[in-house]
Structure 1
Amino acid sequence: MTAKPYLIGHYAPAVDEITATGLTVEGHLPPELNGRLIRNSHNPKPGVTPTHWFKGSGMVHGIRLRDGRAEWYRNRWVRTPALDGAPYMTERGPDLTASTAGTHVIEHGGRLLALSEANFPFELDADLETIGAYDFDGKLSSAMTAHPKTDPVTGELHFFGSSPFPPFLVYYIADAKGQIVHSAEIPGATASLKHDFAITRNHIVFVEGSVTFDPAEHSGIPYGWSDDQPPRIGVMPRTSDGAGKIRWFSIEPGNMLHAGNAYEDAQGRIVLEGPTVDREGFQLSWNWWVGAPGRGTEPNTRSYTRRWVIDLVHGSVDEQNIDDLAVEFPTLNEDYLGSEHRYQYAVSFPDQDGNGGYGIVKYDRATGARRVHQAGDARLPSEAVFVPADNATNEDDGYLLTVISDLKQDSSRLLVLDASGFDQIAAVHLPRRVTAGIHGSWIPDTDD
């Protein structure tokens, strides 16, 4: 039997949990990088073969940097009921604690949360040990997206819960201390897959693409492409009564998993960008995710950055692909989240013909320039996390942190790139090859 693609190569799961201290540093780590880079990954236990890549249990990997040193690396499974085989669906309905917790990890209000969009978050301690499911003191009544947004001005956490069954979409705000202060069901939403969304200074932006609930899909992730699902963008004012004022705008068929950013331009239009696939591109990725035999060798092979410009006055949307490089996992300096930004970063992938390769991409949206830091043969970088430099004056004054999976050396390194000059500053040698994963966060040290 052919091994599932998400269990081999860069995605081969780690088989145990380890802790290593005093890591070797090549080059010079900026002493201002004081904190932890924490990444999540789908990592089933030995002997377990999930029916879909997304069904693999979550494992978090952490790297602790302080005063120019790499103090430790550790990896831990997120110990949810699903890790020990508990089913998501029960006689009483979904068990929101039976989570893979394998998509993302964030910090908010002093809590470190591992996320998977079909479930409650799971809280971790500073050493990545599992504390347990977290429902915001009972105020979270639905699942929570794996892609919440922290407003850089207010410190609020904006997020949503989506479901293939009514209510299809619930929107939440938690204040800077982590308490939910607002929630609302969103009228007019459908069962379309909503993996990510965007915020601007004045609006919340939801995307319903061409992928929707499909009860005939038996991989454990019941979604599929539907030509009958109307693709559209929902724009909601950031006001207490915004849910009742949401407007839906038709767009072309496609599926956007991850939003790069959104903002209001000088004309008051909303600009949204994110890697997007067409029908063929979605099917190629899906075949990889479920391990369909002989169907595609890479995910994201037809994922191209798309821009939507939404004119609220005239009720129109202009959209186009703005780059021909296959990319995913867009990031930016999150001080510019919801505002117009100049620089954006992503991970590049080979396209469906095998052209291109793995690398970290930097886009200059003012000049249209694109730079690629090539990862090298058989090396896959993780999502590039931007960390602002101390006393930064320019948007790209800072560092990009990415973990490289190196198949030839069967090893991994944390690379630190100068986000401005795009050169490598340092590399931290890790004690094992880290499983290629999804999303992560830089958790800076605090003074309290």
Structure 2
Amino acid sequence: MTTTPPYLTGHYTPVAEEVSASELTVEGTLPPELTGRLLRNGHNPKPGVTPTHWFKGSGMVHGIRLREGRAEWYRNRWVHTPALDGAPYMTEHGPDLTASTAGTHVIEHAGRLLALCEANLPFELTPDLDTVGAYDFDGKLRTAMTAHPKEDPVTGELHFFGSSPFPPFLTHYVADAKGAVTHSAEVPGATASLKHDFALTRRHVVFVEGNVTFDHTESSGIPYSWSDHQPSRIGVMPRGEDGARHTRWFSIEPGNMLHVSNAYEDGQGRIVLEGPTVDREGFRLSWNWWVGAPGRGSEPVARSYTRRWILDLTAGTVDEQIIDDLPVEFPTINEDYLGAENRYQYAISFPDEKGFGGYGVVKYDRTTGARRIHQIGDARMPSEAVFVPAADTTREDDGYLLTVVSDLKQNASQLLVLDASGLDRIATVHLPHRVSAGLHGSWIPDTALDGSAG
């Protein structure tokens, strides 16, 4: 008997076709300052294709165009990479970095839209989501590129890395505000541990190596697994041309982190890093969901709790603790505070490993320790909540959260616009079909894209 993998069912059921729709129905009032595009990416294999791992599904980008209080259009497009037509990643000449799912994230930098998958080159898209092609920063990107680059809100620089299960294991890159790569360096001491995300502070680049590492025996097509022999560590590299050779590695407790909430230097010069992590059992339950194996949890993330590390660079010590017992993932912040001390952060809550609890949009107040949840409702699942600052802001949480909801009962989806301060609903935009649960996305204001008035 053939069982449909969980990543092709329920909220994750793929969208079967590309659709364009205009003048979407809006309930409530869209703030006129929300003039731009919400873009969201996720794995969405073509009809008839059953990938061996959730992460191997081809990427589909969904776009919602807002302008001056109207929802002008929705459209969804597959990212047309060689892998969409079946081209293999491994060839007789080695890996084909253009054979990408391009299904993890979509960002804008220097007026260029890039669909990302950490094992490959980025793929450039037009503002209407048509595929331009693979992009290698004019030949300066010589490795794969992380799906989680960080744009420094002060300098406009884009920091990113390429990781590999083979030497060089980790390469750090910097592109300037105009999109030109100005620096690259191999990071010494790195291993084959899976590095999905990283952090940027005002003075350092922070890498995380957990217990998930390269495993050539893994048969799902994603060659990684948990290893008790792989050290769990945090690498701290000073920013600057000569920073790589001063990289230091700090041992931490076993675990694995996919996504960083934020990192910064506190008043004592210590590095504070936060993000959801899983333990060995949490990774086992999650991985089995990702590959459709027995013994899996009911959700794609299990036992994922927010952890805080405080690294004292002078003493050479790390203090770490789990700071919340709610299962969450997809942490976000007001990106103006990336690399600086932030008071507020957001996440999506999931049912626990036994299926108890519901989906919600979570707001944390790191100063008071308060936690607030906007409950989404029965059989409804939100996407990562993207923060958009309000005009003329005076407070960190002056702004909006944008999340796309999959509604199984109505077989429909909506874009929810929430007040980031109190999590109250401001507006609902009804989409032309149900959008499958995906991964990451970005708000792209019109000012970021030249010639994007259409």
Q: TM-score range by the shorter chain?
A: over 0.9
Aligned partner of residue 287 in structure 2, secondary structure: helix
Aligned partner of residue 6 in structure 1, secondary structure: helix
Alignment partners' CA distance in 1, 2:317 and 2:300: 32
1:321 aligns with 2:322: yes
1:111 aligns with 2:112: yes
Aligned partner of residue 396 in structure 2, secondary structure: coil
Counterpart for residue 355 of structure 2:
354
Aligned partner of residue 23 in structure 1, secondary structure: coil
The structural deviation recorded for 1:103 is 0.1
**Once the two structures are superposed, what CA deviation does each residue of 1:384-414 show, in whole Å capped at 9, x if it has no partner?**
0000000000000000000000000000000
* AA partner of residue 306 (structure 2): T
Counterpart for residue 432 of structure 2:
431
Counterpart for residue 176 of structure 1:
177
Counterpart for residue 8 of structure 1:
9
Aligned partner of residue 305 in structure 1, secondary structure: strand
Alignment partners' CA distance in 2, 1:191 and 1:293: 27
Q: Which runs of 5+ in 2 are unaligned?
A: none
Counterpart for residue 59 of structure 1:
60
The structural deviation recorded for 1:2 is 1.2
Alignment partners' CA distance in 2, 1:109 and 1:151: 13
Q: Is the 8 A contact 1:2 1:293 kept in 2?
A: no
Q: Is the 8 A contact 2:21 2:73 kept in 1?
A: yes
Alignment partners' CA distance in 2, 1:294 and 1:203: 40
1:252 aligns with 2:253: yes
Alignment partners' CA distance in 2, 1:250 and 1:293: 33
The structural deviation recorded for 1:75 is 0.1
**Once the two structures are superposed, what CA deviation does each residue of 1:48-84 show, in whole Å capped at 9, x if it has no partner?**
0000000000000000000100000000000000000
Counterpart for residue 134 of structure 2:
133
**Once the two structures are superposed, what CA deviation does each residue of 1:193-241 show, in whole Å capped at 9, x if it has no partner?**
0000000000000000000000110100000000000000000001210
Alignment partners' CA distance in 2, 1:360 and 1:295: 24
The structural deviation recorded for 1:371 is 0.2
Alignment partners' CA distance in 2, 1:270 and 1:296: 33
Counterparts of 1:226-245 in structure 2, within 5 Å, are 226-245=227-246
* TM-score relative to the length of structure 1: 0.99
Alignment partners' CA distance in 2, 1:190 and 1:102: 25
Q: Is the 8 A contact 1:404 1:415 kept in 2?
A: yes
- Identical-residue share of aligned pairs (%): 79
* AA partner of residue 353 (structure 1): K
1:382 aligns with 2:405: no
* AA partner of residue 178 (structure 1): G
Aligned partner of residue 23 in structure 2, secondary structure: strand
Counterpart for residue 292 of structure 1:
293
1:192 aligns with 2:219: no
**Once the two structures are superposed, what CA deviation does each residue of 1:228-257 show, in whole Å capped at 9, x if it has no partner?**
000000000012100000000000000000
Alignment partners' CA distance in 2, 1:438 and 1:251: 27
Q: Is the 8 A contact 2:297 2:354 kept in 1?
A: no
Alignment partners' CA distance in 1, 2:294 and 2:308: 34
The structural deviation recorded for 1:294 is 5.1
Q: Is the 8 A contact 1:106 1:114 kept in 2?
A: yes
Counterpart for residue 444 of structure 2:
443
* AA partner of residue 80 (structure 2): R
Aligned partner of residue 167 in structure 1, secondary structure: coil
Q: Is the 8 A contact 2:212 2:226 kept in 1?
A: yes
Counterpart for residue 94 of structure 2:
93
Aligned partner of residue 286 in structure 1, secondary structure: helix
Counterpart for residue 278 of structure 1:
279
Aligned CA RMSD, in angstroms, stands at 0.7
Q: May I ask how many residue pairs the two structures share in their alignment? A: 448
Aligned partner of residue 387 in structure 1, secondary structure: strand
Q: Is the 8 A contact 1:197 1:258 kept in 2?
A: yes
Counterpart for residue 222 of structure 2:
221
The structural deviation recorded for 1:446 is 1.1
Counterparts of 1:351-430 in structure 2, within 5 Å, are 351-430=352-431
Alignment partners' CA distance in 2, 1:100 and 1:161: 16
Aligned partner of residue 447 in structure 2, secondary structure: coil
**Once the two structures are superposed, what CA deviation does each residue of 1:3-61 show, in whole Å capped at 9, x if it has no partner?**
11000100000001010000000000001000000000100000000000000000000
Change (3 A) 1:270 1:294: closer
* AA partner of residue 64 (structure 1): R
* AA partner of residue 117 (structure 2): S
Counterpart for residue 147 of structure 1:
148
Aligned partner of residue 39 in structure 2, secondary structure: strand
Alignment partners' CA distance in 2, 1:164 and 1:287: 21
Alignment partners' CA distance in 2, 1:48 and 1:421: 42
Alignment partners' CA distance in 2, 1:262 and 1:296: 30
Q: Is the 8 A contact 1:172 1:182 kept in 2?
A: yes
Aligned partner of residue 142 in structure 1, secondary structure: coil
Alignment partners' CA distance in 1, 2:239 and 2:199: 12
**Once the two structures are superposed, what CA deviation does each residue of 1:358-381 show, in whole Å capped at 9, x if it has no partner?**
000000000000000001001000
Alignment partners' CA distance in 1, 2:354 and 2:9: 21
Aligned partner of residue 414 in structure 1, secondary structure: strand
Alignment partners' CA distance in 1, 2:205 and 2:148: 13
Alignment partners' CA distance in 1, 2:426 and 2:363: 16
Alignment partners' CA distance in 2, 1:420 and 1:10: 28
* AA partner of residue 30 (structure 1): P
Alignment partners' CA distance in 1, 2:296 and 2:322: 25
Alignment partners' CA distance in 2, 1:297 and 1:209: 23
Alignment partners' CA distance in 2, 1:366 and 1:297: 33
Counterpart for residue 49 of structure 1:
50
Further displaced range: 3-12 or 289-298: 289-298
Q: Is the 8 A contact 2:298 2:354 kept in 1?
A: no
Alignment partners' CA distance in 2, 1:403 and 1:298: 18
The structural deviation recorded for 1:85 is 0.3
Moved over 6 A (4+): none
Q: Is the 8 A contact 2:344 2:366 kept in 1?
A: yes
* AA partner of residue 310 (structure 2): V
Alignment partners' CA distance in 1, 2:421 and 2:297: 35
Alignment partners' CA distance in 2, 1:269 and 1:128: 42
Alignment partners' CA distance in 1, 2:10 and 2:264: 38
